[in-house]
Amino acid sequence: MARYSPDDDNELRTPYRPTGSAHVRETPQQPSENYEKIRLYNFRIPNRFTKEQLRALKGIYENFASSLASHLSGLLRKFCLVELISVEEHTFSEFNNAMVDPVLLVIIALQPLQGVSLMEISPSVAYGIIDRLLGGIGQFSNPDRDYTEIEIALMEKLIGQFLDIMKESWVRFHEVTPKLERIETRSQFAQIVPANETIAIVTFSVKIGEVEGMINYCIPHVGVEPLFKDTKFKSDFFQSNQPNENSKADVILNHIEKASIEMLATFSETNITAREVMSMQVGDVLLMDHKVADAVHVKINNSIKFTGYLGIKNNRRSIKINKTMNEDDFTGF
């Protein structure tokens, strides 16, 4: 007959504590709602970019994406959309292993910062831009082939324009001058930092007409670390994040003010016959319907905006503006 002891009852009520090789049946736990949001942390490669630093890079390259879209639309004469997708921290080995040759890699120095950065342009975007610059419709047929010397030369000139836009995006935070070092088409020739070095990857989505692709920009932490320690950078970043309703409008206005427009001064229209045009010779005088005392029309992009009178100033033909045209003034023109 089994003998009962009070200690046996205590063992049944005592919470489980693992000892030796005792076998215990555990109840499986249900995954929580936030399980998918958990990100594994690698203690061998700790995070080196803070949230504030990633947010600063995001603000810089959001401006870059907006300006780049406007520039490409005007250059390629086609609707272009560039959007910032993410700014994330990774190791350089993760970035390098994801690339498939041939690839267009642009090595960029951010002077006066240390080291270099790396921009990867997907074949669909690169070949689409090249085809458009050469008079095509912006399509590509064989993205797996190598880039020719002519295509690389075209991209070098275009990337120089990209870097001018990037410089303007940085100017609110720090004086940085991006400089093109070289272009590579093989990933093994673009080992800018050790494999385990921490980098920030800025990812852009690019759409040119019907062509879509990506641009990835790799920024090593070792290069921008001195900048993040600069108290002036922190102060400028804090001020730039203050709510300002007119900031975006000021940026747009700044780009509009630099745009080139055509100004043309014209006389009143005069009609002649085709026979008169065919019989016209050097030395003939055209009798205009425009009288000497009549005002000339000053057109901006083929639209009448002002009227004025002809004159001479500093030995040059000039026009003195005497009236600004409104919509109600166009009757009779």
Residue 333 has pLDDT above 50, yes or no: no
Residue 272 has pLDDT above 70, yes or no: yes
Structurally, the chain folds into a number of domains equal to: 2
Q: Are 92 and 196 in contact (CB under 8 A)?
A: yes
Q: Region 165-178: what's the mean pLDDT?
A: 87
pLDDT tens digits, one per residue of 229-262: 764 555 555 455 544 555 566 667 776 777 777 7
Q: Region 285-312: what's the mean pLDDT?
A: 83
Residue 218, both tokens: 């790799």
Range of the domain at 282: 263-330
Q: What is the DSSP string of 189-210?
A: G---S-TT-EEEEEEEEEEETT
pLDDT tens digits, one per residue of 122-155: 998 999 999 998 888 877 777 678 899 999 999 9
Residue 3 has pLDDT above 90, yes or no: no
In this predicted structure, what is the pLDDT of residue 166?
92
Q: Region 51-76: what's the mean pLDDT?
A: 90
Residue 82 CB: number of other CB atoms within 10 A?
Answer: 21
Where does a domain end: 208, 241, 257? Answer: 257
In this predicted structure, what is the pLDDT of residue 14?
40
Residue 115 has pLDDT above 90, yes or no: no
Task: Name the pairing type of β-strands 177-184 and 80-91.
Answer: unpaired
Quick one: pLDDT band at residue 32, thresholds 50, 70, 90? low
Where does a domain end: 237, 257, 277? Answer: 257
In this predicted structure, what is the pLDDT of residue 12?
41
Q: Region 193-214: what's the mean pLDDT?
A: 91
Residue 300 has pLDDT above 80, yes or no: yes
**Domain identity same for 115 and 180:** yes
Residue 164 lies in a domain: yes
Q: What is the DSSP string of 260-286?
A: ---EEEE-------HHHHHT--TT---
In this predicted structure, what is the pLDDT of residue 298?
87
**CATH of residue 319:** 2.30.330.10
**CATH of residue 169:** 3.40.1550.10
Closest alpha carbon to 128 in 65, 209, 67: 209
**Domain identity same for 271 and 234:** no
Where does a domain end: 257, 290, 315? Answer: 257
Quick one: pLDDT band at residue 81, thresholds 50, 70, 90? very high
Higher pLDDT, 249 or 63: 63
Residue 204 lies in a domain: yes
Which residues in 122-150 are b (16+ Cβ under 10 Å) and which e?
Answer: bbbbbbbbbbbbeeeebebeeeeeebeee
Higher pLDDT, 328 or 292: 292
**Domain identity same for 198 and 249:** yes
In this predicted structure, what is the pLDDT of residue 102?
84
User: How far does Cα 289 stand from its chain's mean position?
Assistant: 52
**Domain identity same for 313 and 188:** no
pLDDT tens digits, one per residue of 86-110: 999 998 988 888 888 888 999 999 8
Residue 20 has pLDDT above 70, yes or no: no
Residue 27 lies in a domain: no
